[in-house]
Structure 1
């Protein structure tokens, strides 16, 4: 196979880029010079005319910078529909994760369960499914595309929610919740990658803020729905509602989700041209000739390799910790507001509104400043964009996490008016969404060609932490009280505060360091 020079930027930020033996999403194994795909050089990352060796006439690529098959050139309406549908399923999935939080007591009573940890496990097992799903979804998407995975997971999500609604034992409910979480992890694994396929860097922050609304607002809506629906119709109707909703969304997914992954687009184009021309020597610009088995084996290990990178690991760990605080709140709000304030099931679910308002404020903050701030810093520093220009947003927003935890914990401990701790959770919500959104955008910008894998790595840590930490919430509050329990979490978040500042100044040096550079 002839040499294929690509220009994709995640690992190449120097003025005189070096060449590396690595894979473009696992599909180009020859030495490549990396530059992030742009409308000018095409989504496949092929270098512009005049760069590199002459093009092999048997290599199939996009037809210039304006090729309509290139997702970057799709009509704005088509991009908007795709982003809205991806955001919609990214909203529905986390609703399913927390809709059982307010129903936990009813589920325990129905199945005669007395262990509070098992009651919380009904909610958190879903997040453990979120952690395992990316193991398979990310590599399969890199082999067969985003669209087929969105469609397959939408159907499975529908089936397993139905199974939850009719489950006849606590054990079967736990298993079905795990499988629902695995299927529901698809939008979290592939959503940011799909946006990266369609939207260029300078507009990606705003588009990402729309998508982020689902994962951060969805968990807030779930307890409210469950808090009122469970007393009115029984806990099974929580899952019947999820089944009906996922059925409607599945129809939208099949109608409006189109393939955006360049590897798969060019693979189909190559097959079509072979059939039309009879030239069996044609091959995709992103094809290595490796078998799907070898590609899958390579791709399935990539998220774990990426976690060795200090940037990926530490930022994923930070977003995982603050993300788990939200689920700790969702699983302990019924306890705190029932015991401390005498709330019923419905009002206890409404306690999550404080987090929800904070999430919305944080989303508007990210959408308003992320792209302009990055553009300003790019212009100020010679016009060369860097992923690190996303991090000032995280620096500004990270302080809200400890503020919110201390405020919420001690106001609830001292039983001040119920609105005071809820306001505290609003500050926490601002910090959580800022951390989640900014780290997602930064990692996609920094590792664009590996976006599905880096998001899988991020999701694995985030969902394992979010699934396991809340299990200790009730025991922690029993031992320390609400005030000191939240203070411990606040001190942990304070320990992470220097992290975005460190990576803002030294992130590029770390990414380019030979010590940490590896073949992903």
Structure 2
């Protein structure tokens, strides 16, 4: 019977490469514990996997276990060259931007889709809603909690943890390859039914990419250096829906006809999806050529295979090769945890609804901003697309303030003596004030007598507030629901996407009935009611 112990094998934030594997399932006396150590300097936890006997003493190391050759092993992803790390981060973030941008890039082409397929405007809106719905319910890899507890060894927090079995790169290639293929089929859909089906499947494939993208960022950086790359990745996902209509208005609004037979005949719609096809194909090539395998378990498995061949020793193995669990079993278990959190944890549910409301308003603004700018100031469609720059610039400003919020967090932890989840809330409180302020600013200044830049500044304030709330709530959920943080985040994603899918259906009707000022004040009031949450 073979046992092992490797206390030096510590992992980085948001990634635990060694889940609870049954190395000796036939021996009931043996069991695993996750041992957590707290590092006050980094304010993060690191985890070592220990096998204890029935006297709670560690067993000796297994000489057949293949591990990294110390913390400085060049094969360890955290030791990759800086240019290699940042190239991978750039490719992953830009690919993430493409996926989220696709959700909203046809927002201004509703009329074109309705005319092309001879359907109502509400049916055309489904092109955005079904894509976002696919993003929300698609397969996601729910990573282990970065701060595990001793009781965590009995729970598996994942939905589709395929990369733990096959590595991250196969998931990248299969998901993004499917995303590219579905985008091609969307562009050449002969009927609205086919168009909507493949829009949903495109979002579904894109969600699989997101299931491993965040984990890849965590694979490359230590807890001390992961802050900015994570914030950059978060920005790429949040700003994508804002970039979508901006690109459509500026790049493909006046694409000329003369397209192949079978392609969508409306210039707006055709140019939109041709752009996505080209973009996604370039990203697929870059993922294949520039992003190495970064999952530590898969790197060690590859190393074990090579050593078995070189040393002619069939007994050498990597820890991941001992994982015999069923993907379907852990998927069902994690689904159960996800819905129990939503049903029984009021704080998680309220925060989920809050962030969902914000994302819904963001997607609703794809109709509201053009209506306001075109009606009040007489802008043409292409010029009104520039109005989305306010929200995007606001999110970038929010990212630029992260060093301040991080230093405040470290100071608060130092004063408190430990990292409470509530120490993540100051940035959320600031965002809770800025969001209704930005919406009210946009509403009361949307008059032709006032310069058009004044309401755009209101959307900038709204963008800063959105970034503050999203980034703060995400980290709070991870801290507050440590054993089930991944399921908490998945529940948040599901509810957010449901709201984002539904809000575009009533955007135009609300702004026509209530007017631009009344409708936006209503939205500001709804966000103001959420102020007590943080």
Aligned to 1:70: 76
Question: Given the alignment of the two structures, is residue 332 of structure 1 paired with residue 337 of structure 2, yes or no?
Answer: no
Look up the SS of the partner of 1:330 in the other structure: helix
1:488 is matched with 522
Q: For residues 76 and 254 of structure 1, what CA distance do their matches in structure 2 show?
A: 19
Q: Runs of 5+ in structure 2 lacking a partner?
A: 23-30, 142-158, 257-266
For 1:352, the equivalent position in structure 2 comes to: 388
Query: TM-score of the superposition, structure 1-length normalised?
Result: 0.81
Alignment correspondent of 1:423: 457
2: CA distance, partners of 1:410 / 1:173? 39
Q: In structure 1, how many angstroms separate the alpha carbons of the residues matched to 2:419 and 2:312? A: 42
Any residues of structure 2 matched to 1:213-362 within 5 Å, and which?
A: 213-228=235-250, 229-233=252-256, 234=267, 235-275=269-309, 276-280=311-315, 282=317, 284=319, 287-299=322-334, 301=336, 303-307=338-342, 309-310=345-346, 312-362=348-398
Question: Partners in 1 of 2:483 and 2:292 — Cα distance?
Answer: 19
1:433 aligns to what? 467
Deviation at 1:361, TM superposition (A): 1.3
Structure 1 contact 202–375 (Cα < 8 Å) conserved: no
Q: What TM-score, normalized to structure 2?
A: 0.79
- Asked if 1:167 is matched to 2:168, the reply is no
Query: Which of 394, 408, 429 does residue 373 from structure 1 map onto?
Result: 408
When residues 102 and 295 of structure 1 are mapped into structure 2, their CA distance, relative to the original with a 3 A threshold, is: same
Describe the SS at the equivalent of 1:343: coil
Q: Are 1:465 and 2:496 an aligned pair? A: no
1:190–1:455 CA contact under 8 A, matched in 2: no
Residue in 1 that maps onto 2:133: 128
Partner of 1:510: none
Contact 1:5-1:32 within 8 A present in 2 as well: no
Aligned to 1:517: none
Which whole-Å deviations, capped at 9, do the CAs of 1:87-132 have from their partners, x for residues lacking one? 111111122111101222222222222x332233222221111112
Are the counterparts in 2 of residues 9 and 34 from structure 1 also a CA contact under 8 Å? no
SS in 2 for 1:478: helix
Shift of residue 335 of structure 1?
A: 2.8
Write out per-residue CA displacement over residues 485-507 of structure 1, whole angstroms, 9 at most, x where no aligned residue: 2233223322333333xxxxxxx
Question: CA separation in 1, counterparts of 2:74 and 2:419?
Answer: 26
Q: 2:48 aligned with 1:45, yes or no?
A: yes
1:414 deviates by 7.9
Report the more deviating stretch, 407-416 or 227-236.
407-416
Determine the C-alpha separation between the residues in 1 that align with 2:428 and 2:373.
31
Q: SS in structure 2 opposite 1:32?
A: strand
- C-alpha change, 1:42 and 1:414, in structure 2 (3 Å) is closer
Tell me if the contact between 2:34 and 2:49 (Cα under 8 Å) persists in the aligned partners: no
Please state how far the C-alpha of 1:429 moved relative to its aligned partner: 0.7
* Conservation of the 8 A alpha-carbon contact between 2:36 and 2:46: no
Instruction: Report 1:507-518 matches (<5 A).
Output: none
Cα gap change, 1:303 to 1:331, in 2 (>3 Å): farther
Q: Between Structure 1 and Structure 2, whose CA radius of gyration is higher?
A: 2
Name the CA shift for 1:250/1:418 in 2 (closer, same or farther; >3 Å).
same
Instruction: Name the Cα RMSD after superposition.
Output: 3.6
d(CA) in 1 for partners of 2:227, 2:51:
26
Distance 1:144 1:459, change over 3 A: farther
Cα drift, residue 466 of structure 1: 1.2
- Classify 1:209/1:10 alpha carbon distance in 2 versus 1 (closer, same or farther; 3 Å): closer
Distance 1:77 1:35, change over 3 A: farther
Distance 2:444 2:415 in 1: 43
With 488-497 and 281-290 compared, the bigger mean Cα shift is at: 281-290
Aligned length: 484
CA–CA separation in structure 2 for the residues paired with 1:443 and 1:104:
36
For the structure 1 residues 263 and 331, does the alpha-carbon distance in structure 2 shift closer, same or farther, using more than 3 Å as the test? farther
SS at match of 1:230: coil
Q: Give yes or no for the alignment of 1:191 onto 2:217.
A: no
1:12-27 to 2 correspondences below 5 Å: 27=20
1:399 matched to which residue of 2? 433
Q: Deviations over 1:264-286 (max 9, x none)?
A: 33444444455545344745168
Query: Can you give the 5+ residue segments of structure 1 that lack an aligned partner in the other structure?
Result: 12-22, 501-520
The 1:26/1:302 distance shift into structure 2, 3 A limit, reads: farther
Deviation, structure 1 residue 477: 2.4
The structure carrying a bigger helix percent of its residues is 1
Structure-2 change in CA distance of 1:24 and 1:64 (3 Å): closer
1:117 to 88, 113, 122: 122
Structure-1 separation of matches of 2:473 and 2:209:
17
Deviations 1:331-371 (A, max 9, x none): 333333333333322122222111112121112122x3233
